[in-house]
Amino acid sequence: MSLRLRRGLDGGQAPHGGADHTGAVTPGTWHLREAADVAREHTVDPTLGLDLAEVRTRAGRHGPNELPSAPPRSLASLLAEQFRDLMILVLVGAALISGVLGDWVDTLVIVVIVVLNAAIGIVQAWRADRALAALKQLAAAHAVVLRAGRTDRIPAHALVPGDVVLLEAGNQVPADLRLFESVQLRIDESALTGESVTVAKQTGVPAGETHALGDRTNMAYKGTTATQGRGRGLVVATGRTTELGQMAHLLAQGGWEPTPLQRRLSAFGKRLALAVLGICVLVFAAGLLRGEPALLMLLTAVSLAVAAIPEAMPAVVTVLLALGARRMVAINALVRRLASVETLGSVTWICSDKTGTLTQNRMRAETLRDGQGLRWDAAQSAAPAACELLRAAALCNDAQVARDGALQGDPTETALAALAASAGLQRAALERQSPRIAEEPFDATVKRMSTWHGDAAGVVGYTKGAPELLLPLCEGLWHPAGATALDHAHWLQQAEAMAGEGLRVLAFARRALPAPPEAGDVKGLQFLGLVGLIDPPREEAAAAVRECLAAGIAVAMITGDHPATARAIAWRLGIVRDPRSPVLTGAQLAGMDAAALAACVREVRVYARVDPLQKIRIVQALQAHGELVAMTGDGVNDAPALQRADIGVAMGRGGTDVARGASSLVLLDDNFATIAASVREGRRIYDNIRKFVRYALTGNAGEIGVIFLAPLLGLPLPLLPIHILWINLVTDGLPGLALAAEPAERNVMQRPPRPPAESLLARGLWQQVLVAGLLLAGLCLGVQAWALHVGDAHWQTMVFTVLTFGQLALVLGLRSEATPLWRLGLFSNVPLLLAVLLSVVLQLATVYVPWLNPVFRTQPLTAMELGWCLALAALVWAAVEAGKAWCGRPAG
């Protein structure tokens, strides 16, 4: 039934253009008020709409119908973000000290490194913002309104409370509306509620006091889409006061959490800075106590600081992440926050929305049971046989065929039309034989639809609807030879069993009469059978779920859909192993305190009928257990949880702008399988970052050992600051960047996730760094002592060269923590091989190019001296490979 409000509904004319009293009603309760009361509250006549003067007054009071949005990040803000890292600040301090001491070469090198790091970070952030802007689509750009008795098409942002909006199929709802007219109007609210089935709208007040968004059938909400019919509604909320706007407010309350990588690097940088400061003070004080000149000891302390700080690490880590982000675009994953590239590699839980993420967001017929014994299941046969039930599905249907042959209309009706067509029954052909002469549109109250078609004997009526309401109206079971007895209890049990499998069940019936009956006269029907429909899982989603589970990642489904549907989809995808697994509903969750939720959150895999705040509670409860949580989704209702999660993963193609704006990662193909590929890529990237950290720290430990131990052993200062900076730039920079191309380890998706609190130096890495660093320092000091003993004037150049070549040999050995180099093959990472060769050439240039000798304070080495340098470097590689073999040997 549709309700049209007219002038004088309550004994008098609603004051046109009067005062606005909308503040008298609590937002979110408009669905509990009669349409006439809502019109009076907004002082508007629904047959005329607001006059233009009142529109201007309300526009000034309420502002534009727009959601608040963050301004684009400026170049200055992007630049400032690059200098918040402690390691960068330490480098800037080192540059200032070098400048004060007059060593402008060192200052210039450090400045170049810092600028390079900042430029890379700015470019990546700018590219991510540009890509996101390209994805953004304007929603509900225009609206059709009734103002001063005239229909007009206006920009949606110009709507004000009290406006009368006209809706038709295909329109996006431009504001929150209280409907007062609905003619077969159905609205897709999946972006707001997560429910894949379109909602039939009506104008009456629903029974009861508490209703979820999906149950407020007399409301139409901003951001949803009309799929069928037409209607009219009164604007009751605009902009930030809409349900969509309140979601945006939730996002504003939250903030970005630092990623695990950012936390690890920050903690590592702080500890390293304190250690460097302590060592420098110790060396400076010890030198003064020995009677060394203060300036020399200050220079030594600065050299030690430069040696201890891996100057290239911020730049290399940024480049590793940037190159990883570029690789992820190739697998349809857009990174919005650079540090999030590796975060997926360490997640322990993925909380996924159902509709449009794990499922296709379209209905499909799955099962058919008719009264003549026909049983059809989509998984067992390609197409059903033609029958009277399918004839009813084709004729009692408003789906249309577009020019391109695609079916258009309500997803349920298009699914039924496709099912009938697979049996050779097309509505257009059937209606040429039996034209439709009358109809009763779907009514949400009685949950059924009927159409009447002419034939030789009179008319045949077909009815479809909810089994529990349609079966009591049936008197027999249809048979071509005449109706037979109908076992109502049996068919109700069948319907309940199908619903328990997560199917939306529709019952069909028919009735033959000489002429169409009166409206509402639906009785004496003959039952035809049942059809079960489902929003099918994505074909690739099940494999992606299996891969995530194999990688030790728990997968949970969090949806606003029906519990039975959610459980069935979760079982089909392998999220739960038992089709009877428990489902935690939003109502149950609302009755739990934080302690009760924390006690069960790690055991539950399916949540149904939850609202946005409850999604955040689930994420926070998991995080309280130390879990690293990824949240995937595409709807507005997912956005707050996407932002609160450790990493939010939004859909780029079918998702909403609000969800994409709240996410760290956007899947460009809306494919859950891309998440598994992103996990693999994230783990590979973190492994390579860890390899670089091990490599850089081992080299720096060797440099610290050389500078710190030489005076204690009575040796002169073995290296100058320019030597240290050159080594760190050449050996850390080029090979470090090339580590980004290192392929994933073979077991990358068979091992459990890293503990979220795990240090970069965990699993014995710091011990390995210390042993290898001391070995490298010992070889360099041995060369220095030997050269001084024999009176070799090239001793400092030899130490410089052994340290450089030793680190290049080290990077070849550290390509894998377990697999030896000869199994990996030199050419399995060509960029690294070329980087090592180029670094060798550059080092030889500092030794043998005459005009570089004064810059680097070097002297050309003899062939014998160079041979010793290469041999000692080879010892470093051999020691690393021996360590792999020792650690990998069987116990006992």
Residue in the block written with tokens 């709240």: 662
Question: CB of 728 within 8 A of CB of 310?
Answer: yes
Q: What is the DSSP letter of 538?
A: P
Beta-carbon contacts of 864 under 8 Å, excluding residues fewer than 6 positions away, are none
Range of the domain at 410: 364-534
pLDDT of residue 262: 61
28 belongs to a structural domain = no
pLDDT of residue 139: 34
Question: CB of 745 within 8 A of CB of 816?
Answer: yes
Kindly report the backbone phi and psi dihedral angles of residue 17, in degrees, each rounded to the nearest multiple of 5, phi listed first. Answer: 75, 20
- Across 460-492, b (16+ Cβ under 10 Å) vs e yields bbbbbbebeebbebbebbbeeeebeebeeeebe
- Cα(413)–Cα(363) distance, rounded to whole angstroms? 9
Total count of domains within the chain = 1
717 belongs to a structural domain = no
Partners of 531 in the β-ladder: 368, 506
pLDDT of residue 20: 41
pLDDT along the chain (892 residues), means of 10: 30 34 54 91 92 92 78 72 64 69 66 69 62 42 86 89 88 90 84 74 84 85 83 92 74 54 68 76 77 70 67 65 78 78 82 80 88 85 85 92 80 92 92 90 79 89 92 93 91 89 90 83 90 87 88 89 82 88 90 92 91 84 92 72 84 68 80 81 85 85 84 82 76 77 85 76 80 93 93 93 94 88 88 92 94 90 94 93 71 34
pLDDT of residue 2: 31
Question: CB of 318 within 8 A of CB of 737?
Answer: no
464 belongs to a structural domain = yes
Question: CB of 164 within 8 A of CB of 145?
Answer: yes
pLDDT of residue 102: 66
Question: CB of 719 within 8 A of CB of 796?
Answer: yes
Return the number of other C-beta atoms located less than 10 Å from residue 619's C-beta.
Answer: 26
**CA 674 to the chain's CA centroid:** 10
499 belongs to a structural domain = yes
125 belongs to a structural domain = no
886-891 contact pairs (CB < 8 A, 24+): 887/818, 888/818
422 belongs to a structural domain = yes
Report the CATH number that the domain containing residue 502 is assigned in CATH: 3.40.1110.10
701 belongs to a structural domain = no
* Structural tokens at position 824: 């990996």
Whole-number CA gyration radius for the chain? 36
State the DSSP H helix or E strand holding residue 438, giving kind and residue range, or none if neither.
strand 436-443
State the DSSP H helix or E strand holding residue 486, giving kind and residue range, or none if neither.
none
Instruction: Report the greatest alpha carbon distance in the chain.
Output: 122
* Structural tokens at position 39: 């019109």
- Cα(208)–Cα(374) distance, rounded to whole angstroms? 41
Q: Which residues are catalytic?
A: 353
* Structural tokens at position 846: 């500092």
Nearest Cα residue to 654 out of 353, 857, 390 = 353
* Structural tokens at position 697: 């720290």
**DSSP one-letter string for 339-379:** GGGTGGGG-SEEEE-STTTTB-SS-EEEEEEETTS-EEETT
480 belongs to a structural domain = yes
Query: The pTM is what?
Result: 0.64
SS3 510: strand
Burial of residue 382 (number of CB atoms within 10 Å: 0-12, 13-18, 19+): exposed
Partners of 144 in the β-ladder: 153, 166
